Amino acid sequence: MADSLAIEPLSFERKIQQTQSFLNQLQIIQSKLSRARDTLYLHEEILVMELVLNRIKDQSLIERGTVNLRFLNELENLIIGYQQQINTWQKEIDDNVNAFMESGKELSIINEASFSAGEEEDTLALQGYLNQKKVLKEKFAYVDSIYTLKRNKGLEMQSRLGGIQIQLVDLLESVRIRQRGFRRDLLKRDSPNLWETHASELEKPLVSVIKETLILNRVIVKHYLESKYGWLLFILLLFLLLFFGIRNMIQKISQTKDFSNLILDRSKYLRYSPFLSTALILFTISPFLLSVPPYFLIFCCLSGSVLATTFLIRIVLDRGDMLLWLVMVMAFLVFGASNLITQLAHQEKWYLLLFSLVGILVGLKVLFHIRKKPGKFPVNLPYLIYFFLVMQTVSIGFHIIGRFSLGKILGVASTLSTMQGISLYVFVLVLMEAIYLLSELSKDNQKDYANYLNYQAIYSRMKKIFSFLALLMWLYLLLVNLSLNQTIGNQLLIFLQTSRTFGNTTFTYSSILTFFSLIWISFVLAKNIAYFASIRDSQNLGPREKRLGSSILLIRLFILTLGFFLAVTASGLPLDKLAIVLGALSVGIGFGLQTIVNNLVSGIILAFERPIQIGDAIEVGGRTGVVKEVGIRSSTLQAYDGSEVVIPNGDLLSQHLVNWTLSDKKRRVEILVGVAYGSEIEKVHEIIKKVLSQDGILSFPSPNILLHNFGDSSLEFRILFWVANFDEWIQVKDKVLREIYAAFAVQKIEIPFPQRDLHIKTEKFQKIHPKKSEE
């Protein structure tokens, strides 16, 4: 039984095949080991990182009297960046080591199967097989040596990266402790009063501080950009696309539009310099395209946007206002460069005080100009100037009483935020000009110059959206300048992500905020997309079937429905809780919301059946006008007297609806004309027929001229004719009446006044002539 279960020895042919298979497998293992990225490239990177970390550790933990909050914030960003880089390297090394371990298992299997004891006795007969075995041994030894070397280097690098990761965690914790202490002590005195002399052994010369600042910022920016080459290339490509797109758009309008000067005059910034306008757009949005950029890059972007704004607004500012702006630009550069300094340097106090005083004088001068010429400046500019003046005044006060760090933060934040606010205002104007030119270029009729009414409507709606986004950008960079972005961000995340319990339900404020934010975004998108689609649809002069019409309502419903389900999914709202809410809603519908639901369902029916479209001329419930909007609950009718009538959708389905433009826009016009008795009927017929043979009156169906009635004082003719466009029938009728009147006057055909026989009876006449009165 035992013998029967024993494994039979391999045949000679099978051994040769197995040896060749092992050789092939060793070649595959060798290829895998060769393709694995060598870790030698990490040694230099890790060496530089260790030197930087040692310097950071010495400066952040030992030089306690010289570092400032900006330095600690930059260190935190650098350490977080290093952690992300270490994590990337660790993942790569771990993957390599795991692959090496798999190769080691395969080598172990080959070793056990090929070089087991007693195998030589079976293979002494054939020299060829022995040579094959020799090649296998040499190949195995070579591959095994590569495996051992790669594996040992990988394990060594794993250990080294693990040690650096622990060091980074400890260092980050110590930096954050220092940050909390620094913020806690901001109101404490950290420098002598302004009238006192200052002497400190810890304080370094300003030149030395600037050199160390440049070194640290160079290290931070270099490390940051090494992992962001793709984003930098994307931003450069985006700049080129925007620049050439804007330039080509301006050239096409100049070449194809008959009123190009009128159109381009409304886009003064884009027309003046497409390059500067594009630079302003990219410099403004770049800090938000990059993930946690260092402050040096943020300041570079702010400087770029301010400089681009400087060259753009000189076309609208006079010489005096431009001089004030240039002074503020100098203050902006001084405060921004001062904010880059990563150590306490009390020598800069005097420079900051000087430019704070200059800034206050400039702000007061600007307020004087605004009061003198209120229509020349933006409406919200005074509020920004007041913010600047208050912050600078408080900053000077803190400098006077020895709170240098806090005074510097307030002075920097006020100056940079004020200049950034003005740049954001110009940024919004440039975006609006680009949208305007794009809308003009998209018009099919090349002779149709700017529809300014539509532009104003679009401008007011889009400006609210872009202004809101600009306000969010301004608030974020204000927090960055105040060094509060990370603190407020962390506290906000903790507040939003903390689990809370209400009854049997567990929730977080982040899920609630996500739900309502997505609902709000979908509502805004649905409203604005429908608005712009309706404007575009109203300009479409094609057939009614080719217009969106009431289908815009379906677009709104689709966006709202999609937004609702995305909100439910993203917020993690349990579906069973949602079913309870819908059940309660159905009960509410049964009790008191029948009318609202009726109008909602009627709106959906109107969208699918399309008995009315946007732009249709209709009559319902005694109201006539043009359909302006088909909403979810109600529709808006633009009456011919200018009023807007809101009609519930249920009334549009339940009442008799007259649609003058359902299948086409033709309309029959009826005119009654009277001529004096004795006029030649055929001559009158020919005159009217000749008047009706003019443009604007359709030849099919052909006009009809009918003798309608023998009136009290005239022969009445009934004139029937058709016009192609419902919107023009009143003008055509007016023209026909005028020409008929003129033709009758030439041909001496009288249009009589009403004639009546008048009988006068008086009492005096009856007494004098009784017989005649009886007659």
Residues of the chain with pLDDT under 70: 1-13, 15, 37-41, 55-68, 114-130, 190, 196-206, 342-346, 442-459, 461, 503-505, 530-551, 573-593, 755-775
CATH for 667-746?
Answer: 3.30.70.100
- SS3 label, residue 501: strand
pLDDT at 105: 80
CB 414 within 8 A of CB 356: no
- SS3 label, residue 176: helix
pLDDT at 456: 63
pLDDT at 528: 73
pLDDT at 9: 56
pLDDT at 31: 79
Reported as a single tens digit per residue, the pLDDT across 601-646 is 777 787 777 777 777 888 888 788 888 777 777 888 888 888 888 8
Per-position DSSP letters for 690-753, written without gaps between them: HHHSSTTB-SSSPPEEEEEEE-SSSEEEEEEEEES-GGGHHHHHHHHHHHHHHHHHHTT---PP
pLDDT at 332: 92
Q: Where are the alpha helices (DSSP H) in 401-484?
A: 404-441, 452-481
Task: Provide the token pair at 36.
Answer: 């694995």
User: Residue 315 CB: number of other CB atoms within 10 A?
Assistant: 11
- Percentages (nearest 5) of helix, strand, coil residues in the chain: 70, 10, 20
CB 496 within 8 A of CB 509: yes
Residue 361, CB-side half-sphere exposure with 13 Å CA sphere: 10
Alpha-carbon distance of 586 to 592, in angstroms, equals: 10
User: What does pTM read for this prediction?
Assistant: 0.68
Q: Is 382 exposed, middle or buried, given 0-12, 13-18 or 19+ CB atoms closer than 10 A?
A: middle
| Separate counts of helices (H) and strands (E) for the chain | 26, 10
Q: Which residues contact 720 (CB under 8 A, 6 or more apart)?
A: 668, 669, 670, 703, 704, 705, 706
**Rg (alpha carbons) of the chain, rounded to whole number:** 43
DSSP letter for 343, please.
B
DSSP letter for 67, please.
B
pLDDT at 1: 36
Reported as a single tens digit per residue, the pLDDT across 230-274 is 788 888 899 999 999 999 988 888 887 777 777 787 788 988 899
Instruction: Report whether the peptide linkage leading into residue 701 is cis, meaning its omega lies within 30 degrees of zero.
Output: yes
Alpha-carbon distance of 158 to 163, in angstroms, equals: 9
Listed residue (77, 76, 88) closest to 46, CA to CA? 88
Q: Which residues contact 616 (CB under 8 A, 6 or more apart)?
A: 544, 549, 626, 627, 659, 660, 661, 662
Alpha-carbon distance of 260 to 545, in angstroms, equals: 33
- SS3 label, residue 91: helix
Chain-centroid distance, C-alpha 495: 27
Write down the domain spans for the chain: 2-184, 206-482, 498-659, 667-746
pLDDT at 348: 76
DSSP letter for 566, please.
H
pLDDT at 548: 58
Listed residue (347, 252, 259, 332) closest to 299, CA to CA? 332
Q: Which residues contact 395 (CB under 8 A, 6 or more apart)?
A: 352, 356, 407, 408, 410, 411, 414
Alpha-carbon distance of 512 to 579, in angstroms, equals: 17
Angle between helices 404-441 and 229-256 (to 10 degrees): 40
DSSP letter for 550, please.
T
67, β-bridge pairs: 343
Task: Provide the token pair at 555.
Answer: 């677009």
